[in-house]
Structure 1
Amino acid sequence: MLKLGVIGTGGITKQFIEATQENGSWKLTSVFSRSLEKAEQFGHEFSKNVRGYRDLHQFFSEGDFDVVYIASPNSLHFEQSRQAILAGKHVIVEKPACSNPSEMKVLQRLLRRYNNVYYFEAARHFHEPNFLKIKETIKQMDVIQGATLTYMKYSSKYDDFLTGNEPNVFSLNFSGGALQDLGVYLIYDAVSWFGIPNSVSYKATKLRNGIDGKGVALLNYQDFTVTLNVGKTANSYLPSEVYGLKETLVMDNAADLTDIQLINGSEKQNLTQKSAVNPMTAEVAAFTSILQKPLSLDNKQKMEDWLAVSVQVNRVIYDLRLSEKIVFRADKEFR
């Protein structure tokens, strides 16, 4: 049984815990929140034996858990992951794993020292059957002429921003913005399906504080360009597409993959794979299979392969931000 500690008490944490319960190989034991009362209340929704913490050092030193799931504001991911690794805890950190490549390099160095610790970025769709089916299909296409990937979803926090406040997801201080929050899904798609781009650029619609509310990114490859449409201030209902020669691979959404069609003229082939109701089920299953056999060299290699993708995605996001001169507080701290 894998003992789980969590940082954060939002809806995404609840969804992750529910996926671990569905899996059946996990037990929630510890919850960290800035409010002890909130931590305890949240934990007791799942079990009266869960212990709450408001001191992070105490959480890592006294908490009875093997794996920590981190779902705090983006800018806190790095330091909390660093403390977890130093405490010998396996890490599952919500995307984006880090604010910039400098933070990522620190964690990579730590992981080489603490080579018994596993570290995963929780880009949930990366492990889903439909994501893997698209990757397999693209490999089989003779010609790739590019792609257009879209993920635009009106944020529940944007109304608050419009009243004059600055929620974490729309703050440079907390490493927010459309590209960092939703764009990471699209960049995972591009890097996993097409490889590392030769060059990138980003044109953003900036909000009053300089954060990107929405934008269009171009990822340039040797023979084609991938266009990314991302936003947190509007909704888009456009499908996403990968262009072959005569065939086009069409998906309903580049992040929430629930329908895949390969279209060639009047011919349409349904490639959709069955997905779980909880979108975190697949990633929890993937992490479980590795963490239950931590001494397996194959599992260690699999983690290293996934980490390599995380590092590449982190670099692409950073380069896109720099092309639009979007600078986080976390970037300045490493100068």
Structure 2
Amino acid sequence: MIRLGIIGTSWITAMFIDAAMKTNAYDLTTVYSRSQASGEKFLASLDIDTDNVDVVTTLSDLYQSIDVVYIASPNALHFEQAKVAIQSGVHVIVEKPSFSNPTEFEKIESLLAKHPDVRLFEAARHVHQPNFKAIQETVAKMAQLQGATLVYQKYSSRYDAYLAGQEPNVLTREFSAGALYDLGVYPIYAALAVYGTPNAVQYLPRLLRNGADGSGVANLFYDNFNVTVIFGKTSNSYLPSEFYGLKDTISVSNIAELEKVTYYDGEGNSNHLGDVPEENPMIRESQDFANIINDPTTNHAEYSQWFQLAKQVNQTLFDLRQSAGIEFPADIKE
């Protein structure tokens, strides 16, 4: 069993723990929290036996007792937490976006080279789903590619707090957050996983009073087509996402959740692709990561592919921010 440690006590952490336990590959042993009380409160909220799970309040105590850490803290904290984990010989599963900028990513990549037995995974759960793989396989068969329109616009549970004058972490540049890094990362990941790295990018954001982006439209430019990405945290959208061939089209109900994927052949005929998604969308990525940890040699090519995709997404997100003049404090740190 892989000894699992946790940083972060939000809903997404609880979802990952549930998924990891359902693979029967992990054993939750340790939860890191800034206070003992908040860690114990989080454990009490989980629908699993936590009698043998410890709560710790220092990273040194966390990393000495686990094989892999799942990091779901605010984005700006990912780099330091992952760095210490790698130095401690602990594998890292870090929520997307993994790091604030390419400089941080390159430092982590260099550190991994010095610790060749350690693996780092970005938890882009949707690209591990069977329905996403069905999209990739179908796009590869299209006679002519004409790009895509990808949409992920969801009202943030923290936007009301922002409107009331507060500064929630997920809507501030201080924590390397905003619409692009919180929601836009899903369709950006999808675009790069299907089409590869774009030749050029452009981001047109709607900025909040604190300089963070609340919503926006990103354009990814390829040789023979463009991809338009629409996302935001200040309103809801129920538009599907679409991948275009010549006459044929793939329609996706939600590019992050992938509940329904439909292929239209251009003659009015439709065909559902993939399967009914699992109740917990993080099960597939949890199993994929466990496979790598348990057998890194056999699965090295797949791991390398995921790592390179994560690196390309990191660069693309940074380039999009640069095009819009959005700077994070993490960008100017030594």
Please give the range of the TM-score, normalised by the shorter of the 2 chains.
Answer: over 0.9
1:277 corresponds to: 279
1:1-335 matches, within 5 Å, as: 1-43=1-43, 45=46, 46=48, 47-61=50-64, 64-263=65-264, 264-294=266-296, 296=297, 298-334=298-334
CA contact (8 A) 1:30 1:43 kept: no
Q: TM-score, normalised by structure 2?
A: 0.97
Q: Distance in 2 between matches of 1:77 and 1:288?
A: 21
Q: Distance in 2 between matches of 1:301 and 1:242?
A: 27
Q: Read off the aligned partner of 1:303 and give its amino acid letter.
A: Y
3-state secondary structure, aligned to 1:217 = strand
Q: Distance in 2 between matches of 1:180 and 1:286?
A: 24
- Note the C-alpha offset of 1:37: 1.5
CA contact (8 A) 1:43 1:51 kept: no
Q: Distance in 1 between matches of 2:113 and 2:141?
A: 36
RMSD over aligned CA atoms reads 1.1
- Note the C-alpha offset of 1:41: 3.2
Q: Distance in 2 between matches of 1:328 and 1:265?
A: 48
Q: Distance in 2 between matches of 1:58 and 1:277?
A: 33
Q: Distance in 2 between matches of 1:292 and 1:311?
A: 23
- Note the C-alpha offset of 1:176: 0.6
CA contact (8 A) 1:151 1:254 kept: yes
1:64-102 deviations in whole A, cap 9, x for unaligned?
Answer: 210100000000011101010000001000000000000
- Note the C-alpha offset of 1:121: 0.2
1:28-67 deviations in whole A, cap 9, x for unaligned?
Answer: 1100011111113323544111111112233223xx2101
Q: Distance in 2 between matches of 1:36 and 1:299?
A: 38
Q: Distance in 1 between matches of 2:114 and 2:43?
A: 32
CA contact (8 A) 2:25 2:287 kept: no
Q: Distance in 2 between matches of 1:30 and 1:270?
A: 42
Q: TM-score, normalised by structure 1?
A: 0.96
Q: Distance in 2 between matches of 1:53 and 1:324?
A: 40
CA contact (8 A) 2:96 2:123 kept: yes
CA contact (8 A) 1:129 1:274 kept: no
Query: Which residues of structure 1 form unaligned runs of 5+?
Result: none
Stretch of structure 1 that moved more, 264-273 or 247-256: 264-273
3-state secondary structure, aligned to 1:190 = helix
1:242-295 deviations in whole A, cap 9, x for unaligned?
Answer: 11111111111111101111112311111132321001011111112121223x
3-state secondary structure, aligned to 1:182 = helix
- Note the C-alpha offset of 1:25: 1.7
CA contact (8 A) 2:260 2:276 kept: no
Q: Read off the aligned partner of 1:290 and give its amino acid letter.
A: I
Q: Read off the aligned partner of 1:206 and give its amino acid letter.
A: L
Give every structure 1 segment of 4 or more consecutive aligned residues whose post-TM-superposition deviation is greater than 3 Å.
Answer: 43-46
